[in-house]
Amino acid sequence: MSRKIFCLALCAMLFALCFSAEAQQPKEVPRIGWLGAGSSPSQLPRTEAFRRGLRDLGYVEAKSIVIEWRYAEGKPDRLPALAAELVHLKVDIIVTGGISATRAAKEATSTIPIVMTQDSDPVANRFVASLARPGGNITGLSTLAPEIGGKQLELLKETLPRLSRVAVLSTSTISSQIGKELGLAAAALKVKLEFQEVLSPKDIDTGFRTASQGRADAVLSLLSAIANPYRTQTAKLAVKSRLPAIYRNREDVEAGGLMSYGVTVTDLDRRAATYVDKILKGRKPADLPVEQPTKFEFIINLNAAKQIGLTIPPVVLMRADKVIK
């Protein structure tokens, strides 16, 4: 009898020890892959915003979450291999920094959740079925704000009261909604639009030359990723043509451009962390609606204005979120 009791006690003790050891096993730390088309230094403000978003949610990098950073260094053709590398590492989520990165990630996996930090039109780019219900393994944030073009025109008109003709640099993928909003704004402001299609970097030079020859009063840029590596060149073309130009991204103004009005991209990067958090807690990308931007910024470069002999009206300067002197 005592032997039986001893055996039962020993089994109970061993079971308790096994259970205790199992309970003390450290939880697996989530691994996130970041995929960007640019270089690490150029994307630093964006990656820091993403990190800040994670910290705000209680994550500690290298302790409660691990991030695998992958950059194409301005060479988009490297993105497919980098995306495949992240898939091979079996990351829990891939966070993408733009359209080309999202496309590479989509082609690399249909099962690992993908969070877009920004995309001009996720539906048109076939990343999601709809903004409300993405339907696949991709969700995140969009820069789609059709009213931006109209707002850019308004700012040009306030800067140049006699504005009557504007050259619009755009790609063939500009959405019908953006085109409609821009057309309505042009009609209201009594401004004629002349579209210049830009499909490659050399088309940027052609666009400015055509705008100058066509006696355009200003240039409105709706370009995105295709023109990013050529921001300084584009700013110089505007100065050479003596054409006031307004862009979507503050980086264009920091590179020497005149004005920008657009989405605050770092806010989108920060918000991307909330998607990572929700997915790690069990939500499916298919059921997480794509967010549209709510924060916009207006930047003016007075050095660029001086180079083309333009005086920015005080009322316009007062509206700027930042003025570069």
Residue 235 within a domain? yes
Please tell me whether residue 258 adopts helix, strand or coil conformation. coil
The C-alpha angle with vertex 74 and arms to 59 and 50, in degrees rounded to 5, equals 15
Same domain assignment for residues 184 and 94: no
CATH of the domain at 186: 3.40.50.2300
CA torsion sign for 251, 252, 255, 258 is negative
Judge whether 268 and 290 are in contact, CB under 8 Å: no
Q: Which domain range does residue 248 map to? A: 147-263+297-324
Same domain assignment for residues 41 and 131: yes
Higher-confidence residue: 163 or 17? 163
Judge whether 116 and 139 are in contact, CB under 8 Å: yes
Same domain assignment for residues 76 and 164: no
Judge whether 148 and 262 are in contact, CB under 8 Å: yes
Query: In the predicted model, what is the mean pLDDT of residues 102-123?
Result: 95
Is it the case that residue 113 has pLDDT exceeding 60? yes
Residue 4 within a domain? no
Query: In the predicted model, what is the mean pLDDT of residues 129-146?
Result: 93
Same domain assignment for residues 101 and 123: yes
DSSP-assigned letter for residue 193: E
Same domain assignment for residues 178 and 271: no
Question: What length does the chain have?
Answer: 325
Same domain assignment for residues 159 and 205: yes
DSSP-assigned letter for residue 62: T
Q: What is the overall mean pLDDT for the chain?
A: 89
pLDDT one-digit tens code per residue, 56-77: 999 999 999 999 999 998 788 9
Contacts by 209-213 with C-beta closer than 8 Å and gap 24+? 209/241, 210/167, 211/167, 211/241, 211/243, 212/241, 212/242, 212/243
Distance CA 177, CA 190 (A): 20
Is it the case that residue 26 has pLDDT exceeding 60? no
- Looking at the DSSP bridge assignments, the partners of residue 296 are 263
pLDDT one-digit tens code per residue, 192-203: 999 888 888 788
Same domain assignment for residues 82 and 140: yes
Residue 272 within a domain? yes
* Per-residue pLDDT, 23: 45
Structural domains counted in the chain = 2
Judge whether 203 and 149 are in contact, CB under 8 Å: no
Residue 9 within a domain? no
Higher-confidence residue: 198 or 244? 244
For 237, what's the count of Cα atoms within 13 Å in the CB-facing half-sphere? 23
Same domain assignment for residues 140 and 161: no
List the one residue out of 84, 69, 112 whose CA is nearest residue 276: 112
Residue 6 within a domain? no
pTM: 0.78
Question: 147-159 and 176-189 are packed helices; what angle lies between their axes, rounded to 10 degrees?
Answer: 30
Q: For the ranges 2-11, 181-190, 225-234, 299-308, which has the lowest average pLDDT?
A: 2-11
The residue type found at 138 is: I
